Structure 1
Amino acid sequence: MGLVTVLQLQLQPSLSFSLDFGGRFSCSSTSNSTLLRVSVKCSALSTPLSLGQIAMNCTEAVKGEKGNEVESTNILEFIDQCTNTMQLKQIHAHMLRTSRFCDPYTASKLLTAYAISSCSCLIYAKNVFNQIPQPNLYCWNTLIRGYASSSDPTQSFLIFLHMLHSCSEFPNKFTFPFLFKAASRLKVLHLGSVLHGMVIKASLSSDLFILNSLINFYGSSGAPDLAHRVFTNMPGKDVVSWNAMINAFALGGLPDKALLLFQEMEMKDVKPNVITMVSVLSACAKKIDLEFGRWICSYIENNGFTEHLILNNAMLDMYVKCGCINDAKDLFNKMSEKDIVSWTTMLDGHAKLGNYDEAHCIFDAMPHKWTAAWNALISAYEQNGKPRVALSLFHEMQLSKDAKPDEVTLICALCASAQLGAIDFGHWIHVYIKKHDINLNCHLATSLLDMYAKCGNLNKAMEVFHAVERKDVYVWSAMIGALAMYGQGKAALDLFSSMLEAYIKPNAVTFTNILCACNHAGLVNEGEQLFEQMEPLYGIVPQIQHYVCVVDIFGRAGLLEKAASFIEKMPIPPTAAVWGALLGACSRHGNVELAELAYQNLLELEPCNHGAFVLLSNIYAKAGDWEKVSNLRKLMRDSDVKKEPWCSSIDVNGIVHEFLVGDNSHPFSQKIYSKLDEISEKFKPIGYKPDMSNLLQLSEEDNLMEQSLNVHSEKLAIAFGLISTASSQPIRIVKNIRICGDCHAFAKLVSQLYDRDILLRDRYRFHHFRGGKCSCLDYW
């Protein structure tokens, strides 16, 4: 046995406490020839209130066992002084020894400390509760309250149901607010509505505390209209009521109503407080109303609000979200106190505006590199099209001793991996999640699934999907989206049916993905029927992305007139994306007249859309109208339209290599071009002829190098994949635009002649080339 140091405190002949340095605490008694021993395991030794003090205080309170009663007030004072669970367990042991645990008030005090104090331990609190012979309503409410704020608020309702069955007292005005809080965190509207009914039946519907909690519940559950109905019918309102309603409007995406309510509050002479101003500033930020936001900041200054960190942070957030980084910077520099929210708000604001040098300066100046700060910087790069930098920062964070990646960090890193097609890095993150026993919740599972799908491994995506025990609507939607990208429309429809059978209600994202699945698989009737069912059957009002999908479904199938008619009947104005879908369809099917109509409408909405020029130029070229091609090229030059840099990337051994059209900057360029020459020689005997129409795209006009089909970026990536990966490995490529027809034919032949799987993801979908065929069946 190893050396064990034991601290022995002999308090009375019949009562002793002992604690070894393994954290085991014992209390024993030998009174009246009986032995009572209570052992508890604790985790900390160093506490503000020492073990000796606790023990000595308990001794003084005992005063001997035969005739002197323990003063219950002393026990209550000891409980209040405890700063960790070990001390509470010492008190608990003493209460058991002296039978004080049988006193309902003292037992409830101990339960309160375990359930809702700074040193709470809900598992132990529940065990303590179960040992109370007849817990009163206060004890039930305390346990419900503790779980309402915990990571598992569902337990509050299980305890509540048990209370209804076992407690002789009916729930009171203190019970329901805690239940509404738990329902708010679960965001289950029906559950809160049932509780609302119970409040009415219990004649508690005029209680201000309950009604304020009810407004908060409806607001956080996405039902601001119901919150407003409660607010309007309240017999009396305090500032908390107004704050709750303003916040409900802000959370519910109704910032205009939130600001109007604040003005009404002013007219009724209800004095706002800090919480009011934070909610109003949040509404200004969501509305992106800088003018009103500045007025609110002046109001705060003129009405004597003392400097408050939360309020300053809310003003910072408003300035940043309204795009006024200079005002935010001035306020930040004046703040006497700053916390992690202050620093990360400024960092995030600069990063999202593309001021990366400023963002890094703020990051470097931080007194401590919190995980949230790393997350803000990594997320900003990932969301602003710089996934390579995001992953580099993630690696740097791992080397840092100040912060540890959390769920948000991993999600950002997975999203960056998905953008780059960096499957090795994404797989490493998956291993990291398993190694550190990180809970694969719905958010993390959705990102992991999406990463595998976008990196060309549909089977691994499906494995992740099946590994999630409780799938929410986003996990289901992501898997449907993955199948859509691979052109597996029938499988996507089957999964959609399984989702409905699992009683998961689809949302707008689900319908975007299932309509895309129908689009890529040519399932016209199924897609049209699903679109028509959205509102009447599922209660989802179609949004612009759903209209774009339907136009693309008709257009891709060659039903161009039907697509044009559908656009004319849209109840909302068609956007550039709608006209772009029609123009793309016209390009595939060579309809010049409709293409010109789509082009004109698209250019009115987006005058600098270079894609419109490219598509219409290709249509004219295929029709042999070279004069119009020339005019378009001149117009593009005169309009100074900036073209998106088109490129392809390939992940080889965890390193992402990127190629532009005609790229010769890669260290292996000579070998790559030699491989392309070899491929060309192999193609000659089988009669391969390049699709020369692709030379007419405007993207090829800059120099002679770009005028050759043989140097398209995806061909360079394929050649590099052939020379740098094992013959058993698939070649995984990501392209940032739609693959051209010639490169599609090229990839099919390479997959046949070299017996290699090629997975190419373009902007819209996946192409899996194998044995001279593509998974899209040339329907793309």
Structure 2
Amino acid sequence: MATPYTQVLPLPRHQHFPKPNPISKTVINDRYFENHPLVLLIDKSQSINQLKQIHAYMLRIGLFFDPFSASKLIEASSLSHFSSLDYAHKVFDEIPQPNLFSWNALIRAYSSSQDPIQSILMFVNMLCEGREFPSKFTYPFVFKASAKMKAIRFGRGLHGMVVKGRDVGLDIFVLNSLIHFYADCGCLDEAYLIFENMQTRDVVSWNTMILGFAEGGYADEALKIFHRMGEENVRPNDVTMMAVLSACAKKLDLEFGRWVHAFIKRNGIRESLILDNAILDMYMKCGSIEDAERLFRKMGEKDIVSWTTMLVGYARAGNFNAARSILNTMPSQDIVAWNALISAYEQSGKPKEALSVFNELQLIKKAEPDEVTLVCALSACAQLGAIDLGGWIHVYIKKQGIKFNCHLTTALIDMYSKCGDVEKALEMFDSVNIRDVFVWSAMIAGLAMHGRGKEAISLFLKMQEHKVKPNSVTLINVLCACSHSGLVEEGRAIFNQMEYVYGIVPGVKHYACLVDILGRAGELEVAEKLINNMPVTPGPSVWGALLGACRLHGNLELAEQACNRLVELEPENHGAYVLLSNIYAKSGKWDEVSMLRKRMRECGLKKEPGCSSIEVHSIVHEFLVGDNTHPQSQKIYAKLDEIAARLKHVGYVSNKSQILQLVEEEDMQEQALNLHSEKLAMAFGLISVAPSQPIRIVKNLRVCADCHAVAKLLSKLYDREIILRDRYRFHHFKEGNCSCKDYW
């Protein structure tokens, strides 16, 4: 029955349509019915419902069994603007002997769909039936599907078939698609070899090779191909220039980017909104906001991409006011724009601002959060330790029926782990069936930061049992787990197996982990020897690990050496000076402390202030050292006095070695320790968090030994669980003990 939205084709009920002769050979081999009224109506259809009407008439008069007529129906139902692949495939399955055109139509349609594997399966089925053989119109779309699936082995098999087929092996359309396939799969050497051996090349050949190099991270090679294109007098088009602009953006070559912009104008290359957006993107990525603003103002037409490019550019440059202004000015605020601002805040270390924008999005409801929004918000929650909001997002995902893919699963595991609830992270990990290497790596990292090294190693072995190949990050996480748990021999064994068991050549970060493992365990000489014999140049992370170990074990001579090497590599690394200053302070060398701090002032470096945060009723409260700006400061300091009295009553004596500046008066020394940010956060937690709930604190620096000792005592005196995350790991304080077993 027709609805107000369904236009019925004008097919008179008694119109006579000529019936085909099912015996005639022309019905199978020729376009005998090319001008049949029903076949002509197929091209005029505007909806699937109209095609279904034609399909019914074709069945009634027997026209559907003519392969050419049926192929026209397949083409319209699979490749038109109103296509329905499900319907097209059902029609295809009814055709007794589909011709090559019908096979190609479905292969082509599936290659551009969300399910490209169906394109490959159609191709294989065609070969198995053996009635039709692939043509130059078949292979390009199978290569396209193979590229989307990253099916490199299958694609190489197709390449072999192309080489054997003389007619298709020289077709420029097929060869261009083959270049694209190899480039898209990261096999640029093979793509270039085909390009070099082509007898003739068109502009598409050059464009595909330039874009392949640009997107593959070989910007210089992309630009060389472009220059060579000019030397061979091949005229570039707008697609060429977009590929070249992509290379400029990857190379961050502003000067050449400006030359390309001028080249486009000078050579009369067809201007378009897409090309303008590519130029805009290049300027922003190359850091020239002025050029981008100039072009943006001149653009006669702007779309959501133009506005979003400006927004992202401002945000990356740290100009969040301008980014916010762009969002407010945009004609239509789609979720991509909101994601750009949320992501920019989150990646710039501004999680509170990221969550503020996320909350605003929830309130105004101008766009629905998507997977990217949720992943960014969860990452911001992880940075802040905001488990209440992170848990709310988890519930939101479930209520909205959003499928838990590997990206969301990884983000949730990371959020729960970094917010101190590793059991919830494990629950999330166990609840999903599909786990890629990133999901496994995130869970291993979660166990590592909570000091559960043996469990992390056990999970690492289980990962291999599930045939998931570890990557470089996985190995870093496992080695970190060994470091935090004092598993020296296990860490050493895993490191030694990296290359010949897992096929991963140890990088600088892996060596830094091993140095950390050895250094924490007191094997400083072994760690120093390892650094001296490294096959790669030791980076800041390596010297930083050694310097941290020297602080733990009080090796002043080696600390000075490590600090000097670290400062050579990173002159603005204030952390190096602070660590060495701490070692001097613990040794009572106050003159050296003063000298270091003077050098820091001369270099314009400042020590990062200690900051501790705690989430209460979904609100994150932050405390600095000696902070008195909190609305409940009076209650917090009263609680601190109560804590000090109870600690004194049980005989606790402050660890004066943690005072890193010269304070002579005894009472002032104690006061300096009492004002540490984590103690303020603990006091606030005791007066604000229900006794049944753990007190969760996040500190931006390493927790000091005095605060660590106090937290252990408070967990026993107040019968509270305190979970403290510092820069390097988690500490779970309960009944007077810490999960780190004082090894941190």
**TM-score under structure 1 normalisation?**
0.89
Instruction: Tell me, yes or no, if the aligned pair for 2:20 and 2:62 is still in contact at 8 Å.
Output: no
Q: Secondary structure at the match of 1:428?
A: helix
Sequence identity (%): 59
Higher mean C-alpha deviation, range 528-537 or range 181-190: 528-537
Deviation of 1:314 after TM superposition, in Å, equals: 0.9
C-alpha contact (below 8 Å) 1:617/1:698 kept by paired residues: no
User: In structure 2, what is the equivalent of residue 38 of structure 1?
Assistant: none
* Aligned partners of 1:212 and 1:240 also within 8 Å: yes
Q: Which residue in the other structure is 2:5 paired with?
A: 46
Q: Deviation digits for residues 536-578 of structure 1, max 9, x if unmatched?
A: 4433333332222222122112111222222222333322222
- For 1:24, the equivalent position in structure 2 comes to none
Q: Separation in 1 of the partners of 2:548 and 2:319? A: 35
Amino acid paired to 1:263: H
The answer on whether the counterparts of 2:451 and 2:484 sit within 8 Å (CA) in structure 1 is yes
Is residue 495 of structure 1 aligned with residue 468 of structure 2? no
Letter in structure 2 aligned against 1:382: E
Secondary structure of the 2:420 match is coil
Secondary structure of 1:729's counterpart equals coil
Confirm or deny that 1:63 pairs with 2:27.
Answer: no
User: In the alignment, is the contact (CA less than 8 A) between 1:646 and 1:737 conserved in 2?
Assistant: yes
| Paired residues of 2:656 and 2:669 also in contact (CA < 8 A) | no
**SS across alignment from 2:623:** strand
Deviations 1:714-773 (A, max 9, x none): 111122112112111111111111111111112112222222222211222222222222
- Is the alpha carbon distance of 1:699 and 1:207 closer, same or farther for their aligned partners in structure 2, counting shifts above 3 Å? farther
Residue 329 (structure 1) aligned to one of 273, 277, 293: 293
1:292-441 correspondence to structure 2 within 5 Å = 292-441=256-405
1:154-193 superposed matches below 5 A? 154-193=117-156
* Contact kept? 2:20, 2:63, Cα under 8 Å: no
Q: Which residue of 2 aligns with 1:33?
A: none
Instruction: Identify the range of structure 1 (196-205 vs 659-668) with the bigger mean alpha-carbon deviation.
Output: 196-205
Tell me the SS of whatever aligns to 1:566: helix
Residue aligning to 1:650: 614
Equivalent residue, structure 1, for 2:511:
547
The 1-side partners of 2:78 and 2:506 are apart by 46
Query: C-alpha displacement at 1:706, in angstroms?
Result: 11
Q: Distance in 1 between matches of 2:204 and 2:497?
A: 42
Residue identity opposite 1:485 in structure 2 = M
Q: Distance in 1 between matches of 2:98 and 2:18?
A: 29
* Pair 1:554–1:650, CA change in 2 (3 A): same
Counterpart of 1:752 in structure 2 is: 716
Query: In structure 1, what is the Cα distance between the partners aligned to 2:254 and 2:341?
Result: 25
**Counterpart amino acid of 2:565?**
N
Q: Which of these residues, 118, 126, 134, is aligned with residue 81 of structure 2?
A: 118
One-letter code of the match for 1:94? Y
**1: CA distance, partners of 2:211 / 2:506:** 27
The residue matched to 1:708 in structure 2 has which SS? helix
Are 1:617 and 1:697, in contact at CA under 8 Å, matched by a contact in 2? no
Asked whether the 8 Å contact 1:72–1:106 carries over to 2, the reply is no
- Matched with 1:718 is 682
Give 2:557's match in structure 1, choosing from 585, 593, 615: 593
Equivalent residue, structure 2, for 1:446: 410
Residues 245 and 257 of structure 2 are in contact (CA less than 8 Å); yes or no, is this contact kept in structure 1?
A: yes
Structure 1 residues not aligned, in runs of 5+? 1-17, 22-44
Q: Deviations over 1:131-154 (max 9, x none)?
A: 222222322222222222121222
Cα pair distance change 1:106/1:463, threshold 3 Å: farther
Q: In the alignment, is residue 143 of structure 1 matched against residue 143 of structure 2?
A: no
Residues 515-548 of structure 1: CA deviation (Å, up to 9, x unaligned)? 2122212222332333333334433333332222
Assess if the C-alpha contact under 8 Å between 1:524 and 1:557 holds in 2. yes
Shift of the alpha carbon at 1:466?
Answer: 2.5
Equivalent AA in structure 2 for residue 120 of structure 1 = S
Q: Deviations over 1:589-637 (max 9, x none)?
A: 1111110001111222223322122211221222232322232233333
Change (3 A) 1:219 1:664: same
SS at match of 2:497: helix
Residue pairs, 1:164-313, within 5 angstroms: 164-203=127-166, 204-313=168-277
Residue by residue over 1:237-293, the C-alpha shift from the partner in whole angstroms, topping out at 9 and shown as x without a partner, is 221111111111112111111111111111111111111111111111111111111
Deviates more, 1:606-615 or 1:531-540: 531-540
By how many angstroms is 1:193 displaced? 2.4
> 3-state SS of the aligned residue for 1:759?
strand
Offset of 1:469 from its aligned partner? 2.5
Aligned-partner SS, 1:438: coil
Task: State which of 568, 576, 581 in structure 1 corresponds to 2:540.
Answer: 576
Measure, in 1, the Cα distance between the counterparts of 2:269 and 2:108: 32
Give the superposition deviation at 1:588: 0.5
Matched letter for residue 63 of structure 1: Q
Q: 2:443 — aligned with what?
A: 479
**Residues 179 and 418 from structure 1, CA distance in 2 versus in 1: closer, same or farther, beyond 3 angstroms?**
same
Q: What CA distance in whole angstroms lies between the structure 2 residues aligned with 1:349 and 1:332? A: 12
For the residues of structure 2 that align with 1:536 and 1:396, how far apart are their CA atoms? 51
Q: TM-score, normalised by structure 2?
A: 0.93
**Equivalent residue letter for 1:185:** K
Contact 1:222–1:251 at 8 Å: present in 2 too? no
Question: What is the number of equivalent residue pairs in this alignment?
Answer: 730
Given residue 552 of structure 1, which amino acid in structure 2 is its aligned partner?
Answer: D
Q: Distance in 2 between matches of 1:67 and 1:170?
A: 30
**RMSD across aligned positions (CA):** 2.4
8 Å contact kept, 1:646–1:736: yes
Q: Give the drift of 1:90.
A: 3.2
Cα separation, partners in 2 of 1:83 and 1:210, compared to 1, 3 Å: same
Judge conservation of contact 1:148–1:156 (CA < 8 Å) in 2. yes
| Inter-partner Cα distance in structure 1 for 2:371 and 2:211 | 27
Deviation at 1:67, TM superposition (A): 7.4
Paired AA for residue 46 in structure 1:
Y
Distance, in Å, in 1 between the alignment partners of 2:183 and 2:200 is: 19
Secondary structure of 1:368 counterpart: coil
Query: Contact 1:223/1:252 (CA < 8 Å) preserved in 2?
Result: no
Evaluate the alpha carbon distance shift between residue 758 and residue 648 of structure 1 in structure 2; reply closer, same or farther with a 3 A threshold.
same
2:27 is matched with none
| Matched residue SS, 2:12 | helix
**Residues 764, 729 of structure 1: alpha-carbon distance in 2 compared, 3 angstrom cutoff:** same
Could you tell me which amino acid in structure 1 is paired with residue 713 of structure 2?
Answer: L
Name the amino acid aligned to 1:237.
R
Unaligned runs of 5+ in 2: 22-32
| Residue of structure 1 in register with 2:25 after alignment | none
Distance 1:358 1:63 in 2: 66
1:147-174 CA distance string (max 9 Å, x none): 2212122222233332222242233332
Bigger Cα displacement from structure 2, 747-756 vs 246-255: 747-756
Cα distance change of structure 1 residues 372 and 169 upon mapping to structure 2, 3 Å threshold: same
Q: Output the CA distance in 1 between the equivalents of 2:605 and 2:670.
A: 18
Q: 1:59 is aligned with what amino acid?
A: P
Amino acid at match of 1:729: Q
Aligned partners of 2:695 and 2:721 also within 8 Å: yes
In the TM superposition, what is the alpha-carbon distance from 1:73 to its structure 2 partner? 4.1
Mapped partners of 1:199, 1:393: distance in 2: 53
Of 204-213 and 336-345, more deviation after overlay is shown by: 204-213
Tell me how far apart the structure 2 counterparts of residues 250 and 673 of structure 1 sit (CA, whole Å): 59
- Aligned counterparts of 2:654 and 2:485: Cα–Cα separation in 1: 27
Partner of 2:342, secondary structure, is helix
Instruction: Verify the 8 A CA contact 1:618 1:693 in the aligned structure 2.
Output: no
Range moving further from structure 2, 195-204 or 123-132: 195-204
Q: Please report how far the alpha carbon of residue 326 of structure 1 lies from its aligned counterpart in structure 2 after TM superposition.
A: 0.6
